[in-house]
Amino acid sequence: MLNRGRNIEKGRVITRRMFILAAAKILLFAGISSRLYNLQISDREKYEILSDKNRIREWKTPPQRGIIVDNFNKVLASNDRVFQLHLILDEINDFDVTIFKIKNIIGLDQFEIKKLYKKKERLKPWDTLVVSDNLTWEQFSKINLYLHELEGAKPVLSTSRFYPYANDLAHIVGYVGDASPKDLEKPEIKENFVPGLKVGKYGIENSQEKMLIGNYGIKRYEVNASGKRISQIDYIKERQGNKVNLTIDIEIQKYAQELLKGKAGSICAMDIYTGEVVTMASSPTYDPNKFTHGINQKDWQEIKNNPLKPLINKSIAGLYSPGSTFKPLVALAALEYGILDPNKTIRCKGHKHPYELYGVKYHCWKKEGHGYMKLRNAIKQSCDIYFYEMARLLGVDKLSIIAKRYGLGTNVLGDLYNDEKNGLVPDTKWKRRALEQSWYLGETVINGIGQGYIQTTPLQLCLMTAQIANGGYKIKPHIIKDESINYKNVINKIKLDQSNFPLHEKNYLDDIKVEFYQRMYHKKSNINFVLDAMFGSTNEQYGTSYKSRYDDPKYQFAGKTGTSQVRRITDLDRELDLDTDQIEYKKRDHALYVAFAPYKDPRYAISVIIEHGGSGSKAAAPLASKLIKRIIDRHKLREQFNNGNTSLA
> Which residues make up the interface to other proteins (CB under 8 A)?
3, 6-7, 9-11, 13-15, 17-18, 21-22, 25, 28-29, 31-33, 35-37, 39-41, 43-44, 46-48, 50-51, 54-55, 222-226, 230
* Closer CB to other proteins, 36 or 569, in the complex: 36
Q: Which of 315, 316, 346, 353 is nearest to 331 (CA)?
A: 346
Closer residue to other proteins, CB minimum distance, 56 or 569: 56
Contact 457, 319 (CB under 8 A): yes
Smallest gap from Cβ 33 to other proteins, in A, equals 6
CB-based contacts of 627, cutoff 8 Å, min separation 6: 252, 255, 256, 259, 267, 269, 279, 606, 608
Cβ neighbors of 207 (< 8 A, separation 6 or more) are 200, 415, 416, 417, 418
Complex with other proteins: residue 232 or 492, whichever CB lies closer: 232
Nearer to other proteins, 80 or 222 (CB): 222
Radius of gyration for the chain, computed over Cα atoms and rounded to the nearest angstrom: 36
Please report the DSSP string for 169-234 in residue order. Answer: GHHHH--EEEPPTTGGGSHHHHHH--TT-EEE-SHHHHHTHHHHS-B-EEEEEEE-TT--EEEEEE
| Nearest distance, CB of residue 4 and other proteins, angstroms | 10
Q: Give the DSSP H/E element, type plus range, for residue 425.
A: none
What SS3 class is residue 573?
helix
CB closer to other proteins out of 21 and 145 = 21
Asked if 468 and 329 count as a contact pair (C-beta separation under 8 A), the reply is yes
Report the distance separating Cα 531 and Cα 528, nearest Å: 5
Minimum CB–partner distance for residue 117 and other proteins (Å): 22
Alpha carbon separation from 373 to 88, 350, 378 (Å, rounded) = 80, 13, 6
Q: Of 28 and 147, which has the nearer Cβ to other proteins?
A: 28
Q: In angstroms, give the least distance from the CB of 144 to other proteins.
A: 33
- DSSP-based three-state secondary structure for 620: helix
Q: Report the residue number, 223 or 534, with the smaller CB distance to other proteins.
A: 223
Whether the CA torsion 152, 157, 159, 160 is positive or negative: it is positive
Report, in Å, the least distance between residue 195 CB and other proteins: 21
The distance of closest approach from Cβ of residue 44 to other proteins in the complex, given in angstroms and rounded to an integer, is 5
By C-alpha distance, which of 265, 272, 283 is closest to 635?
272
Q: What is d(CA 523, CA 507) in angstroms, rounded to the nearest whole number? A: 14
What is residue 102's three-state secondary structure?
Answer: helix
Q: Based on CB atoms, which residue is closest to other proteins, 13 or 566?
A: 13
Q: Which is nearer to other proteins, 228 or 353 (CB)?
A: 228
- Return the H-helix or E-strand segment holding 98: helix 95-102
Question: Which is closer to other proteins, CB of 27 or CB of 496?
Answer: 27
For residue 561, the cross-strand partners are 593
Q: How far is the CB of 7 from other proteins (least distance, A)?
A: 7
Residues 6+ apart with CB under 8 A from 456: 319, 320, 321, 322, 326, 408, 423, 464
Q: Minimum distance from CB of 97 to other proteins (Å)?
A: 26
Beta carbon of residue 136, minimum distance to other proteins (angstroms, whole number)? 40
User: Measured from the CB of residue 111, what is the shortest distance to other proteins in angstroms?
Assistant: 33
User: Please, what is the minimum distance in Å from the beta carbon of residue 43 to other proteins?
Assistant: 6
Taken in order 243, 244, 249, 250, the sign of the CA dihedral is negative
Nearer to other proteins, 230 or 578 (CB): 230
Count the residues in the chain: 649
